[in-house]
Amino acid sequence: MGTILQMRRIAVAAALLTLLAACTKTNYEFDVVRSTLQPGKAPPDPRVQALIAANAPRLQIAFLESGLAGAMVLEGEREGVRTWLSVDGASLLTRQGLIVGERGFGGGMMASDVSQPLEALFDGREGQVLRFHSFLNGDDRIVTRSYKCHIEDRGTQEIPVRGQPVATRLMRETCRSADQEFLNVYWFSQADGQLVQSRQWLGDFLGVVTLREIAG
C-alpha cells in the first residue's frame, strides 16, 4: 500500500509556462525538476525500488515555485547527513532536517554549512548566526556565499503530523547576503524537540521547498 511513486503536479501547465517566460531558467532545467518528481518520464531508479520494498522512511517534498510535489525515500545516513532519493534518483541531503545539498534537481546547491543555525534552532535560541552555501555556477565552478541570519521564536502552533495534531514551537530564520534574501521556517515538536516540518530555501533556481518526514 502507499508508494512514493504517487507523484502529482500541483500547478497547471499554464503556471509553469509563465514561470519559464518570466525568468532565465531554460526549458531543460525545468524538465530536470519535472522528471525527478513525475514518474513515467524515465525508468524508476532500482535503488529506489529496493528501498520502497523495504518500507524505508519517506520525505514529503513540495517545490513552491514550480508547483511540483511528491515524496522521496531515505537511502541512508552518513556522519549525520541523510540522503533522500526521488523515483528517478535525484537526491536531497539533510542534517537533522536542515537541507545541506542536492543533486539532480538542477539547482546546483552542492553543500551548505548550517552548523550555526542548526545549534541555535535546536536550542530554541534567538539571535544572529551565519550560514554558507556552495553553488555550482554556469561555468561549472563552485561559488560559496555567506548569509547573515536572524533567528526568532514565533511561539507555539499546532499542526497535523501523520494524521495527528502535534504541538510545535515555530522558529523563523531570515537570511540576507549582498544581493539575496530568504526566509526559512521550522516547526519543532514540543514533546521531543525534533524538527517535524520545515519550509526552506534551495537557491534562486529551485526556490522554496516544504519538507515533512512521513512513516515508511
Q: What's 194's domain CATH number?
A: 2.40.360.10
Count of positions (residues) in the chain: 216
Contact 107/205 with Cβ under 8 angstroms? yes
Virtual torsion, Cα 88, 93, 98, 101, nearest 10 deg: -100
Nearest in space to 48 (alpha carbons), one of 3, 89, 101 = 89
What DSSP state is assigned to residue 45? Answer: P
Structurally, the chain folds into a number of domains equal to: 1
In a domain, 73, yes or no: yes
pLDDT digits (tens, 9 = 90+) for 74-131: 999 999 999 999 888 889 999 999 999 999 888 889 999 999 999 999 999 999 999 9
The pLDDT of residue 14: 25
Structural domain includes residue 2: no
Model confidence over 13-60: pLDDT tens digits? 222 223 323 334 455 555 555 555 655 556 677 888 888 888 889 999
Residue 141 covered by a domain: yes
Tell me how many degrees the CA angle 122-107-131 measures, rounded to the nearest 5.
30
Residue 211: its pLDDT value, please?
Answer: 96
Output the CA torsion 81→180→29→196 (10° steps): 40
Q: What is the pLDDT of residue 152?
A: 98
Answer yes or no: is 60 within a domain: yes
Supply the range of the domain harboring residue 159: 8-214
- Compute the C-alpha angle 199/149/160, nearest 5°: 25
Measured between alpha carbons, how far is 40 from 114 in angstroms, rounded to an integer? 35
Judge whether 130 lies within some domain.
yes
Residue 12 lies in a domain: yes
**Structural domain contains residue 3:** no
In a domain, 207, yes or no: yes
